Structure 1
């Protein structure tokens, strides 16, 4: 079976590669036949295909030598088409609706050379701009920019003048897509760029504005403003890296970059990320195997049409230093080939004794607009991370041991290193205005190594913390490829947007581990460090290969403008081969197994009035077998399955302020949890339940005053288990109440224009420290702040964390009593950035 999957996968790869070559060649052949006046498009990411946009504002202004027509739209406009009739130049923009108070816009004789400027809706999804010359046909040079659609128009006779050699009148159509704290679109939930108000699922977008104002440099910090997301520890020794919970469930293999799964045992930086999108609830129909709590999708920064250069530097307490460079722009005169390069380096100390880290990131992207309908993007990414392994502090009794939060209970030779490398491409092609195809292929490698004593048990009477020798390394390789077709069509009065896709993914791993023998214990009240590394002698080895083939279908239906439905179905076929060797027992086992699953989802959204959406949805999740039990027959685990019912309300309170409410109920069966009696193995329980409500408020309250706030009430517990004493127990690290608020105000005019301040409140309620509910991590309220000043092309700011220096517990790693993570004390970071 595994061989069959391999042959199918490589066959699919060959077909996709051939398809890419054919499509590229065909696009190049068509290039000469296209009008030079057609826009060269700055394509969206491969996982974006536009729904009809909305133009919500039109303004025409006149200066001495220029007309400016500004269209305010809710998201990027597509390429335009030009034609002419007599002296009238006609520019048509597809896939857009005119949503202004007036049904059309026109102004006569704005200048001596222009007789009329007119904007009208000519069909359901097309807007026409007409520019009529007084004596001759104007000429147009049209191109799409990241910031909008630019139309340079000069009076005269078409073909005899150009934008570059004329100082005559121009019309520039720009698009205002800086949505600040209130993004209106996302592609993560549906796979197609869709307004959030038309999405019957709970999605929260953490935009660049929030990332910048909070000076966020790693994913964990960014997610602090996301409702239902909390830290679950996990750096260094964790198999799952920087771990989070969404609606109580761990984010295991559920962090994606531009829709493709990624892995990391180190913190994930944000230097090359444009925004973070959190989809709450099962997401298997688009993202395959995963937990029912949700997924995190990192949206990368994309190349820009105009030159852009940015340099930033930060310095903070605990000997923290960071530097970053972000450059972008066109590589040819036609601006059809563009690039973006992000470089960053950081060297970090810590409030924890003897703990430090460093990281390096190199992230280039090049896009090639082969024609107005075809775009090809190549990208690569290299990341290196090194940090001291820190197991935190232990629990004591029903709480956490009372020692200074700076006390380190490991050894200064304990180290974690990681190298990541990815290389891939994306191809987008539009067959017509309504039908398009996209294809992506990526190779990803991941090589972590961990070495240092592991805390395993705490003696409360003596204060001694038992430790074991621990070593682990791994070589993980992932190959991913997919093909998706997107189409829009009608059946009678019903509008459809169809997504059909297939994907193949192959994962291989070859980890080795060393568990023991016992290492010198350390007293938590009077630590004495040995500073003596031990010999590396791995005694447990594993080789694994997983092949996954999937097919999925999704249809968005607009029954009437106020009523929209979505339905989808995914089929996954997973083949996995694992070989394990344990020198300590000794034993050697080989496992071959396969899983298959159908995962549906359905949603309905009703909009009784334009700014209000009511929705309900049902979604399912699937996770294939990932281990074996430790009983006598080493039986293979059953696949994990999950389902969710959700209802919600989405409301636009103001033009730039949105309120979202969701209530949900999740059930997950055949759950794998850490076995407290036999680490690092797992056991399989009956059922977990998670239910609760979420409330989000995001946007601009008044000019210059922005806010993002989230509240979550969560009841996450064991609803059925083979061990009766666990039934009713709360999940580890999952608080019943969670609240976050981040708000900023920036002076809009006068001598103090550009001066601003920010305030953050982060409340996390009491949490159980482990699944057995033997100890509790107390609630905390942390206060952050910021001061910034923006002027012209530069920005300086101070960010303050934990202003009142409260002593709090952040999380427990994997819910173990021996590894509890204290939160950081008061910290300050100064940042200066400049753009060219």
Structure 2
């Protein structure tokens, strides 16, 4: 989009001819104007209404039974206008628009992909597409998104199993009873190329077809070896649109082929011994931003996503609506990726880096059916807006990895010690300051015989209601029961001369979750609320594709239970064009899984986050738009269990020395701002600022990345009613900072300054 416009009313074009005619009429003598034989043209004066560009009064999910203004919960709605104006091309970039969200890095059991942390808690498995859980690790696109809804705080009453931090719901573009063709073509620095297409056609009075498509390729500024390439297509057709009975069929396909980034290692591997004095201060090592430790002819990252949905809806004569959503989804995540591992002491002792090989090939299939009934009813003089629903789902993840011959350790020593680097080590060791990504690493790659399968089934019943007691007071409540079963199986296998026995694990639990809130409206455009919500995180919450996996050690544990108390206010100003919101909250997980005094994993830990959040979204006058937020988080590990200070054979457990430490991957303060201003008809300028305070990479709080400010800028110009140009400059000051931190071994370094020029068209 070249400039901000209302979704309901387009900005009226400036007509110089009409303005001149009006001026001439005022200048003429009265007699000339009123002459009997004189017929003057009719002049129609129209004024564009002052309406918000960044405002969505209703949320996409039926489970929210009140408008956003009167929903007692912190929910950030990122509209497509902000996504397009800011130049975001991925979900991770779009989420930068709201504070309190950080991205984690891939490491060990954590895959490469959208590793989302909300208010300090991992929400990797809490991503939904149109209200349906989107399982499987992947890197998501934005070309088919209408908006992104970020619900903060425990929300298992809405989505079932999940983290205490919140969830992300992606709202897809759907067919409309309109005729339009929209698209964009963009080029930029670092070989940036991107094209999108959005076509909507009516096929009758109640039928429409829509097609969205995207192709994208680019290098990464300041990271010469890293590159991205992907394409996607999303057709949909709607029948009975605008009638009591409708059916929407949609399909989404996206695939990518990237060279993944390996990040920068930390410089703090020792906690005791004679080498402690050599340690750094816990930050990543100081090397040039372009330093890349991966291998071009070994590393890759390929993903593929296919989602088919059938959405049927019927509204009865009394206003009650029955809806059924069926979905089948399949995702794959396939990669070999170099982690610059600092844990072996090579950085400090030798100035070298071991090129640790991480790999994964995962396929996740999901089948989900949601049936819901919603409407309005008056009982005992009280108006109720309600929804009742049943959800059935099955998720299956099959995960494996790769093995390499002759191996990925130092060939000179057969281990991970890298006293030297280069060809003699098999290029598995490289120098800290001058690694060569084009080293001729040539090995044989094959699938590992170790395979893991996880099948998760869920049956859920839920209900939500907003009771309007009077014009001032309303009560919002929700209740959900989940029956959750997850089964893990790793078949027996032989690797070389080593035989490994089969492993199986199973967990089953039923858990209730609820959301309750009271809303007071002192005026029609404002609300004050208090709410209480819960979340349940059972063993194997990630469905077999992340850090929160099912194992024999945790299979018999109860779900981790979290609760959130929140007090907030939402207010609309400037004829409801600008919405302001603020909330204070206290999230408490009392039975977190930690190591108990006997060395086993038990539900005896505790984590707590206290904080507040402020936001603004909408118009300040006709020409000035703003989308901004600030979050403060005091995220502390209250009880981290026990630590073994003895040996494996003779353990000695003491209370964790990390009690009271700050959550990893969690900034204490974060701010985001995006704002645009129409300086002349057709000419809009804008910019953004992001601030993130210091972030720790481990619960020890010994490894960390510093705070940073990042600035972006944009300008757009409308050539005519069909074509506009948009210039975006990302990371305007070319700031060196780290944008993903969750591994204690390395940190992801952010892109440098880049520029793109996009031609947007609409017919």
What is the CA-CA distance between 1:672 and the residue it aligns to? 5.5
Q: Distance in 2 between matches of 1:179 and 1:200?
A: 22
Q: 1:588 aligns with which of 502, 506, 512?
A: 502
Q: Distance in 1 between matches of 2:491 and 2:664?
A: 31
Q: 2:245 aligns with which of 358, 374, 380?
A: 374
- Equivalent pair of 1:471/1:536 in contact (CA under 8 Å): no
Alignment pair present for 1:821 and 2:748:
yes
Q: 1:279 aligns with which of 127, 148, 151?
A: 151
Q: 2:378 aligns with which of 473, 490, 501?
A: 490
What is the CA-CA distance between 1:648 and the residue it aligns to? 0.4
SS at match of 2:286: coil
Map 1:348-367 to 2 at 5 A.
348-350=218-220, 351-367=222-238
Tell me what 1:185 maps to. 58
Q: Distance in 1 between matches of 2:113 and 2:560?
A: 21
What is the CA-CA distance between 1:461 and the residue it aligns to? 2.4
Tell me what 1:782 maps to. 710
Alignment pair present for 1:242 and 2:156:
no
What is the CA-CA distance between 1:447 and the residue it aligns to? 1.8
What is the CA-CA distance between 1:419 and the residue it aligns to? 1.5
- Equivalent pair of 2:139/2:303 in contact (CA under 8 Å): no
- Equivalent pair of 2:262/2:294 in contact (CA under 8 Å): yes
What is the CA-CA distance between 1:635 and the residue it aligns to? 5.7
Q: Distance in 1 between matches of 2:91 and 2:524?
A: 34
What is the CA-CA distance between 1:277 and the residue it aligns to? 0.9
1:178-210 CA-partner distances (Å, limit 9, x unpaired): 74123222244x624632111111111111221
Relative to structure 1, the CA distance from residue 342 to residue 774 in structure 2 (aligned partners, 3 Å threshold; closer, same or farther) is same
Q: 1:499 aligns with which of 365, 387, 390?
A: 387
SS at match of 1:461: helix
Q: Distance in 2 between matches of 1:378 and 1:588?
A: 42
Tell me what 1:451 maps to. 336
- Equivalent pair of 1:424/1:440 in contact (CA under 8 Å): yes
Q: Distance in 1 between matches of 2:50 and 2:248?
A: 23
1:547-578 CA-partner distances (Å, limit 9, x unpaired): 10001122210001110101121110011221
Alignment pair present for 1:343 and 2:204:
no
What is the CA-CA distance between 1:353 and the residue it aligns to? 2.9
Q: Distance in 1 between matches of 2:689 and 2:356?
A: 39
Tell me what 1:766 maps to. 694
Map 1:473-484 to 2 at 5 A.
473-484=361-372
Q: Distance in 1 between matches of 2:98 and 2:111?
A: 24
Alignment pair present for 1:810 and 2:742:
no
Alignment pair present for 1:563 and 2:491:
no
SS at match of 2:620: strand
Alignment pair present for 1:535 and 2:445:
yes
What is the CA-CA distance between 1:445 and the residue it aligns to? 0.6
Tell me what 2:587 maps to. 666
What is the CA-CA distance between 1:630 and the residue it aligns to? 11
Q: Distance in 2 between matches of 1:324 and 1:738?
A: 32
Q: 1:411 aligns with which of 267, 287, 295?
A: 295
Alignment pair present for 1:233 and 2:105:
yes
- Equivalent pair of 2:50/2:622 in contact (CA under 8 Å): no
Alignment pair present for 1:730 and 2:662:
yes
What is the CA-CA distance between 1:698 and the residue it aligns to? 1.3
Q: Distance in 2 between matches of 1:709 and 1:551?
A: 36
TM-score (norm 1): 0.74
What is the CA-CA distance between 1:540 and the residue it aligns to? 2.5
Tell me what 1:426 maps to. 311
Relative to structure 1, the CA distance from residue 176 to residue 263 in structure 2 (aligned partners, 3 Å threshold; closer, same or farther) is farther
Q: Distance in 2 between matches of 1:684 and 1:740?
A: 36
Relative to structure 1, the CA distance from residue 682 to residue 832 in structure 2 (aligned partners, 3 Å threshold; closer, same or farther) is farther
Which stretches in structure 1 are left out of the alignment for 5+ residues? 1-54, 57-174, 676-680
SS at match of 2:332: strand
Relative to structure 1, the CA distance from residue 411 to residue 512 in structure 2 (aligned partners, 3 Å threshold; closer, same or farther) is same
SS at match of 1:285: helix
What is the CA-CA distance between 1:515 and the residue it aligns to? 7.2
What is the CA-CA distance between 1:242 and the residue it aligns to? 1.4
Alignment pair present for 1:613 and 2:553:
no
SS at match of 1:286: helix
What is the CA-CA distance between 1:636 and the residue it aligns to? 4.2
Q: Distance in 2 between matches of 1:570 and 1:279?
A: 17
Q: 2:638 aligns with which of 704, 719, 728?
A: 719
Q: Distance in 2 between matches of 1:403 and 1:320?
A: 26
SS at match of 1:569: strand
Relative to structure 1, the CA distance from residue 669 to residue 386 in structure 2 (aligned partners, 3 Å threshold; closer, same or farther) is farther
1:712-768 CA-partner distances (Å, limit 9, x unpaired): 111112111213112111111211111111111013xxxx41101002111111111
1:330-360 CA-partner distances (Å, limit 9, x unpaired): 012x2x1101100111111123132112111
Q: Distance in 2 between matches of 1:631 and 1:379?
A: 36
Q: Distance in 2 between matches of 1:497 and 1:358?
A: 46
> Which structure ranks higher in relative contact order (CA pairs < 8 Å, sequence separation ≥ 6)?
2
1:24-74 CA-partner distances (Å, limit 9, x unpaired): xxxxxxxxxxxxxxxxxxxxxxxxxxxxxxx99xxxxxxxxxxxxxxxxxx
Tell me what 1:511 maps to. 399
Tell me what 2:430 maps to. 522
1:70-117 CA-partner distances (Å, limit 9, x unpaired): xxxxxxxxxxxxxxxxxxxxxxxxxxxxxxxxxxxxxxxxxxxxxxxx
- Equivalent pair of 2:331/2:364 in contact (CA under 8 Å): yes
What is the CA-CA distance between 1:541 and the residue it aligns to? 1.4
- Equivalent pair of 2:182/2:761 in contact (CA under 8 Å): yes
SS at match of 1:725: coil
Alignment pair present for 1:320 and 2:240:
no
What is the CA-CA distance between 1:599 and the residue it aligns to? 0.6
Tell me what 2:413 maps to. none
Alignment pair present for 1:194 and 2:73:
no
SS at match of 2:445: coil
What is the CA-CA distance between 1:684 and the residue it aligns to? 7.0
What is the CA-CA distance between 1:299 and the residue it aligns to? 0.8
Alignment pair present for 1:463 and 2:351:
yes
Q: Distance in 2 between matches of 1:636 and 1:414?
A: 38
SS at match of 1:740: strand
Map 1:93-242 to 2 at 5 A.
179-188=52-61, 191-192=63-64, 194-234=66-106, 238-239=110-111, 241-242=113-114
Tell me what 1:745 maps to. 677
Q: Distance in 2 between matches of 1:778 and 1:674?
A: 30
SS at match of 1:573: strand
Relative to structure 1, the CA distance from residue 760 to residue 329 in structure 2 (aligned partners, 3 Å threshold; closer, same or farther) is same
- Equivalent pair of 1:252/1:290 in contact (CA under 8 Å): no
1:194-245 CA-partner distances (Å, limit 9, x unpaired): 3211111111111122122212221112111212122223499942621221
What is the CA-CA distance between 1:514 and the residue it aligns to? 4.3
Relative to structure 1, the CA distance from residue 674 to residue 834 in structure 2 (aligned partners, 3 Å threshold; closer, same or farther) is farther
SS at match of 1:348: strand
Relative to structure 1, the CA distance from residue 177 to residue 207 in structure 2 (aligned partners, 3 Å threshold; closer, same or farther) is farther
- Equivalent pair of 2:594/2:640 in contact (CA under 8 Å): no
Moved over 6 A (4+): 175-178, 627-634, 681-685
Q: Distance in 2 between matches of 1:830 and 1:689?
A: 45
Which stretches in structure 2 are left out of the alignment for 5+ residues? 1-7, 10-47, 268-279, 410-427, 643-655
TM-score (norm 2): 0.81
Tell me what 1:832 maps to. 759
Deviates more, 1:363-372 or 1:558-567: 363-372
Q: Distance in 2 between matches of 1:579 and 1:684?
A: 24
Q: Distance in 1 between matches of 2:113 and 2:529?
A: 34
What is the CA-CA distance between 1:657 and the residue it aligns to? 1.1
